[in-house]
Amino acid sequence: MIYTLWDIPSINLVADYDNLRDALALVLEGIERNGPQDTDTLALEVEDEQGNVTSIAYGQALAELAKRELQPSPIAG
């Protein structure tokens, strides 16, 4: 399995990783570096060994996924 980040306007590959966590880390870096609109042009997919591609998330949903997976959630109470 390979996780790929794509630039939406140009349909070009941005980066590829062998695990989801590293891919999401780049998403968070982009948000920190370029602002919350950074994922407007970014899409995350996973590709299997047969070349089948599945979209994971893009746009704001990708930002929310990255934050949910990598940023510690506040402890209630």
Q: Which 3-state string (H, E, C) describes the chain?
A: CEEEEEECCCCEEEEEECCHHHHHHHHHHHHHHHCHHHHHHEEEEEECCCCCEEEEEECHHHHHHHHHHHCCCCCCC
Under the binding rule (CB under 8 A), the answer on residue 69 touching other proteins is no
Under the binding rule (CB under 8 A), the answer on residue 43 touching other proteins is yes
Under the binding rule (CB under 8 A), the answer on residue 20 touching other proteins is no
Task: Name which position in 21, 22, 55, 70 contacts other proteins (CB under 8 A).
Answer: 55
For tokens 């407007």, what's the residue? 40
Under the binding rule (CB under 8 A), the answer on residue 8 touching other proteins is yes
Task: Name which position in 19, 22, 34, 60 contacts other proteins (CB under 8 A).
Answer: 34
Could you tell me if 62 and 44 are in contact, meaning their C-beta atoms sit under 8 angstroms apart?
yes
Residues binding other proteins (CB under 8 A):
2, 4, 6-16, 26-27, 29-30, 33-34, 38, 41-43, 45, 47, 49, 51-55, 58-59
